[in-house]
Structure formats: structure tokens, C-alpha cells
Amino acid sequence: MKTLEFCNGVLKLVDQTKLPTEHKIVELSTYEEIADAIKTMIVRGAPAIGVTAAYGIVVAANSINISSTEQFFTELKKACDLIKSTRPTAVNLFWAVDRVYNKAVFNMDKPIDQIIKIIEAEACLMEKEDIDSNRAIGKFGNELIKENFTILTHCNAGALATCDHGTALGVIRSAHEAGKNINVFADETRPYLQGSRLTVWELMEDNIPVTLICDNMAGHFMKEGLIDCVIVGADRIALNGDTANKIGTYSVAVLAKENNIPFYVAAPISTIDFSIECGDEIPIEERNSDEVTHIKGVRIAPEGIKVRNPAFDVTPNKYISAIITDKGIIYPPFNENIPKYKD
């Protein structure tokens, strides 16, 4: 399942705001359009946002019609800053932009047209790396999934959130591909409904048994003994293992701990922010109130009601059983074991 495709200077994205009722591809030819697609969640999911951002820098570079290298980098930096301003929580966004920009800087002595080719190759490499990374996460995570497991997942950390296969859903897909008889419970994930709109759709497309539940039903099914483990994705992981993910993840983690259910985070090493010590340092994006008061443009709450809409929460490391990465499974104590994975 291809979330994005870059061809002839144009970035094609699956418009995830339209799923599951409409499968629409948008074609973006300016970096401003790409920045807006990230901001408005046409594309979402930390790994997919990162690769999209990388291609956004390539598109920006192609649009700069300047012969001066110094001026070229001034304009390129403006594009980087705009794309970085779109969403504050997912670290892959900043990692990807910096990686592409630094690649350009490293080759500053070359002609501009050659610099552009080099950074396009870097963005393409990042897309390939993401696919390989997801497959590796799936392989490692499959070791934790037993026959007849029922897995609860929150939000969407599948192919739609990456370049292919997925992180949390990548583990589920790999277990399914291995022939294990598994079932999935998917939280609907209010307010943006990524679970009901995206995760359920993905799993049904792959003929993986899935049951949709409302977010506030998770505890009930855990208490009934129907959930064997929880697997979620991540938007940013601190050095001590504190993890930012879609709002509601923290509640699921607490419920899992209370019911002695393993709670796993699946994410590539690039989602670890080695510059921050703990989750308190992770910025939390607050989104438009309409996402809470409306569903698909239909108002469901009274006019004038005060609304809070944080897009993410932070799950403290004490609730996390393991972090499944593309380099292996990281177990507690995270503050000792995560730094071992820093390049």
C-alpha cells in the first residue's frame, strides 16, 4: 500500500482525510502545498510525515531559480523553516528536513543542479529506508506475538502512516504473514477517528480479522480477558523511553498496566529524540476545536462550547513493556538501553 510517490518533481499523496469512503490521490508541485498537506493531515503518521517533508525540500530546491549558491541556500532554509513549522510533536519531521538540508550543505561546493540531484537521491533513500525499517520492526515484533493473540491498537500506525507495511500494524501484518491466527481490536481514536477510518480499513484490505471499538471500551475488554497485548506507534520517544503518541494512548497504557497486559511501542530508531531526557520536554500540538465539535463537517456539540484538543499525550516509560525498533527490541531500563542505539 503506497502512501506517497514522488515522480517527475511531483509528490503524490493518498488524501487520508477522505478515507475510507473515497480513495483520492492529490498531486503537489510546490513545497507550500506539501507543507499544507502535512498541517491539514492529508498525510499523517511520523514516518510518512518525515519522508513527505524530505520530498518537500527537494520540490523547494527545484523551484529556486537563482544562480548564486549563497542565495540558493537562503531560500532553501526558508522552505525548511516553513515545513518544520507545520506540526511540532513528530520528531521525524525535523529529523528528515535536517538530514536533507545537511546533505545539501555538505555538497555546497558543487553546482546547484548537482546539489538538487544529490538531495533528491537522499529523499528517495529515506523512503526506501523507511520501508526496510518497517519490515525489520515487523520481524522483531513478530517474536512477541503468540498464536491466537488478540491485539489492541490505538490510532493508525500502518502503511498509511509510513511508506509501506507500518510500525504497529507492521508487527500485526508480519504475524499474519507468518500464519499466526491473530485478531485485532482497533480503538476508533477520537477526535480524528484514525482507528475507525484508517486502521480498520487497512486491516480489512489485508483480510486481517479486526473489531472496531470506541476508545472508552478498551478497559472493559481488557478486564474481560479478551486482550493479550497492546501495540501502538510513536511520534517521539525520549531518552528515558517516555513516548508521545496519539491522544488517548496514555489512558490505554494505564489500563494495560492495571490488567497485567504487555504494552508495546513500535517505532524506528529515527523516532527517538536523543536530545531530550524525558517526555516533559516533548511539545504537544493543540489542534483546531472543530475536530472535536464536528465529525465530517457535521456539528455534534453546542455552539460556543469551550474545547481543548491536544493531538498527543505522553506515556511514561513505567507503562511500556518494550519498544520494538528496526534495530531490535529495547527493554527496560530504557534510560540505560536506549542510548546504546545512538549512532
Catalytic residues: 235
240 within 8 A of 278, measured Cβ to Cβ? yes
Q: Which residues contact 277 (CB under 8 A, 6 or more apart)?
A: 238, 239, 240
CA distance 272 to 286: 21
Tell me which DSSP letter residue 211 carries.
Answer: E
214-236 burial, b at 16+ Cβ within 10 Å, e below that, comes to ebeebbebbeeeebbbbbbbbbb
Residues paired with 12 in a beta bridge: 5, 27
In 3D, which of 274, 338, 327 has the Cα closest to residue 91? 274
The total of other beta-carbon atoms located within 10 Å of residue 18's CB is 14
C-alpha cell at 148: 491466537
Q: End-to-end CA distance of the chain, in Å?
A: 30
Provide CB contacts within 8 A for 124, sequence distance 6+.
6
- Is 16 within 8 Å of 42 (Cβ atoms)? yes
Separation CA 264–CA 225 (nearest Å): 18
Q: What is the DSSP string of 100-116?
A: HHHHHHHTTTS-HHHHH
Inter-residue contact 185 to 211 (CB < 8 Å): yes
**Euclidean distance between CA atoms 190 and 225, whole angstroms:** 24
Strands, E assignment, 71-173 = 150-153
Count of helices and strands (H, E) across the chain: 12, 15
With CA atoms as reference, report the closest residue to 163 among 141, 139, 133, 184: 133
